[in-house]
């Protein structure tokens, strides 16, 4: 082992040198009769051959609707078969899929549609309290009058086609079956030509990740990025075509669409969606009914599953492996998952959207203490180093610094944001994660904290500036600063320090109500602190670490802070 904090991931398998559609067709040819996907809440199960029929039809419909290679299509929906079909159909047609968080509201949706220049939007009409159709109609009122595929929006000049995954009463939104009907205008040969024009280095996915300078940035990922990452995540779990993976994590995120969907595809395994959104009971029902061998989730999901009053009623003995990621795993949770859920080979993974996502993963034989105190060792074909943020030199083993990664998994860049890209990826190709980390003598890495101000709430990344800029749109708010405080359930919760305009009055509920329905629910601050006493440096820069310290003391969270 090197004496410095550098490692490169050894690999006994080569990188996949093919775009997603080529591998998709190879897997269909090899495993056509095997189940590819089971969507329990939709009562749908498809073999790879049946999935391919749907994918090819949808891809031809996109081509018939005028979508060219490189156009963008957003998908705004919870987990379902249409999501998966859209993922592969857009890849076959060379369309860049823009994954939109189902928790987004009007403010966030508008930004993503405009910044990415989406030409199309695939959406579910409603999910829980989210009226997607109502929100898109608020942004594009012409949908009530125009014909499907002929939207002409002043705010979103690129957006022409809106498709419901079911049906819609609005004339400007395609019903799913009507849109699929367009496929009859295109031949298999035309699809084959389009598909043959795909290159593994082409952009195929934009995933929006919050930024410290305000609005989210669109991490642009290639076929090569995400197909290989999904493949090696599953390979590290010893996946085969016999595996059946329950995916309760959202597909809009890399955890679901890359580690889940592409991990299964690349091994001919079966992806199982237990419900539209996370439901702990539905997860265990799916594991039992489908004889699942693997299960994904963030720690809070596993905690909720274990806490079910009837947990012991479920037969989970078919489980073998899975991944826990998104937040640190408590040691007791890991023990219970291993013993009570029979996931003796459960693994921890770490990454970020910009790295497709996984850079580190524990192995099936990693000691328990390494699985709960580290994020594992470097992934195959990936390089990592930990550097001194001041000097840029590689730190000795055991010394804390900034984690940097390099390799096939690094994004192409932030969509139409070269300045942010240059800040994130240096001239030598290293992605600067902004996370502080320590590497031990065995190559295991522990993520210590964050150089940036990112808050991780229940596995969701939240950047304060985004919330701050939204709250500043309220007439009564003079200034606002947001930070995180420890929370036993979510890992971190959000507190907003609010300074009001002179003579203005607001309550905590007023601030929260202003956020509800406008920004994602997980970004709504749990705590509100009114005052003008922001801790500052002598140059007038807010010291968020002091805000956090003060908030912890005032809220009585000292015990959680040291847990």
Fold of 6-14+214-450: Rossmann fold (3.40.50)
pLDDT of residue 542: 76
* Model confidence band, residue 539 (pLDDT cutoffs 50, 70, 90): very low
The pTM is what?
0.85
pLDDT of residue 373: 83
Angle of helix 20-31 relative to helix 223-236, nearest 10 degrees, comes to 40
| Separation of alpha carbons 163 and 125, rounded Å | 10
Q: Which residue has the tokens 């061998």?
A: 293
Q: Which residues, in sequence order, are CB contacts of 513 under 8 Å at separation 6+?
A: none
| Separation of alpha carbons 75 and 87, rounded Å | 9
Residues of the chain with CATH 3.30.300.30: 455-561
Residues of the chain with CATH 3.40.50.12780: 6-14+214-450
Task: Render pLDDT for 364-378 as a digit per residue (tens, 0 to 9).
Answer: 889 888 888 899 999
* Model confidence band, residue 332 (pLDDT cutoffs 50, 70, 90): confident
Residues of the chain with CATH 3.40.50.980: 20-198
Q: Which residue has the tokens 């290639």?
A: 222
The CA–CA distances, whole Å, from 541 to 94, 435, 464, 545 equal 45, 21, 15, 12
Residue 441 has pLDDT above 80, yes or no: yes
pLDDT of residue 51: 98
pLDDT of residue 541: 60
Ramachandran angles phi, psi of 371, nearest 5°:
-70, -25
Dihedral angle over CA of 456, 461, 467, 469, nearest 10: 130
pLDDT of residue 450: 65
**Superfamily grouping for domain 455-561:** ANL, C-terminal domain (3.30.300.30)
Tell me which CATH code domain 20-198 carries: 3.40.50.980
* DSSP codes joined into one string, 202-224: SEEEEEEEEETTEEEEEEEEEHH
């Amino acid at each position: 082992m090197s004496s410095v904090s550098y490692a490169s991931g050894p690999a006994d398998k080569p990188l996949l040198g093919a775009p997603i559609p080529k591998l998709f067709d190879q897997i269909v040819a090899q495993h056509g009769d095997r189940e590819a996907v089971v969507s329990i809440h939709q009562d749908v199960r498809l073999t790879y051959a049946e999935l391919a029929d749907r994918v090819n039809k949808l891809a031809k419909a996109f081509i018939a609707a005028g979508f060219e290679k490189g156009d963008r299509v957003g998908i705004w929906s919870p987990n379902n078969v249409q999501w998966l079909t859209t993922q592969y159909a857009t890849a076959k047609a060379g369309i860049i899929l823009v994954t939109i968080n189902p928790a987004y509201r009007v403010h966030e949706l508008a930004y993503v549609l405009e910044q990415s220049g989406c030409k199309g939007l695939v959406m579910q009409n409603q999910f829980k309290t989210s009226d997607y159709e109502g929100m898109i109609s608020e942004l594009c009122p012409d949908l009530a009058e125009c014909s499907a595929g002929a939207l002409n929006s002043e705010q979103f000049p690129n957006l022409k086609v809106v498709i419901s995954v079911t049906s819609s009463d609005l004339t400007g939104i395609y019903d799913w079956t009507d849109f699929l009907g367009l496929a009859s205008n295109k031949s298999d040969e035309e699809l084959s030509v389009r598909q043959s024009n795909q290159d593994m280095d082409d952009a195929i996915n934009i995933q929006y990740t919050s930024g410290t300078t305000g609005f989210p940035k669109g991490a642009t990922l290639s076929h090569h990025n995400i197909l290989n990452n999904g493949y090696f995540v599953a390979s590290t779990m010893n996946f085969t075509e016999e595996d059946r993976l329950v995916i309760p994590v959202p597909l809009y995120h890399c955890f679901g669409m890359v580690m889940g969907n592409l991990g299964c595809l690349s091994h001919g395994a079966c992806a199982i969606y237990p419900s539209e959104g996370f439901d702990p009971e539905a997860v265990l029902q799916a594991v039992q009914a489908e004889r699942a061998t693997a299960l994904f989730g963030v720690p809070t999901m596993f905690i909720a599953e274990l806490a079910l009053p009837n947990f012991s009623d479920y037969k989970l003995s078919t489980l073998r492996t899975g991944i826990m990621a998104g937040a640190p795993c408590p040691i007791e949770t890991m023990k219970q998952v291993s013993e009570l859920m029979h996931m003796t080979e459960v693994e921890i993974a770490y990454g970020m959207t910009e790295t497709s996502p996984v850079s580190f993963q524990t192995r099936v034989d990693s000691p328990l203490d390494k699985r709960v105190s580290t994020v594992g060792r470097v992934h195959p074909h990936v390089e990592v180093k930990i550097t001194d943020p001041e000097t840029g030199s590689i730190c000795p083993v055991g010394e804390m610094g900034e984690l940097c990664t390099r390799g096939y998994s690094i994004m192409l860049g932030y969509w139409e944001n070269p300045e942010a890209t240059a800040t994130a990826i240096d001239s030598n190709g290293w992605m600067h994660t902004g996370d502080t980390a320590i590497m031990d003598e065995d190559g295991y890495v522990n993520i210590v904290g964050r150089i940036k101000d990112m808050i991780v709430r229940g596995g969701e990344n939240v950047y304060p500036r985004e919330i701050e800029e939204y709250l500043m749109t309220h007439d009564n708010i003079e200034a606002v600063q947001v930070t995180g405080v420890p929370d036993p359930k979510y890992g971190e919760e959000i507190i907003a320090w609010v300074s009001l305009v002179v003579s203005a009055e607001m309550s905590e509920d007023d601030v929260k109500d202003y956020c509800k329905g406008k920004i994602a629910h997980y970004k709504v601050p749990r705590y509100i602190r009114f005052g003008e006493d922001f801790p500052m440096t002598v140059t007038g820069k807010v010291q968020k670490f002091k805000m956090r310290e003060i908030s912890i003391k005032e809220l009585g969270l000292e015990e959680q802070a040291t847990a």
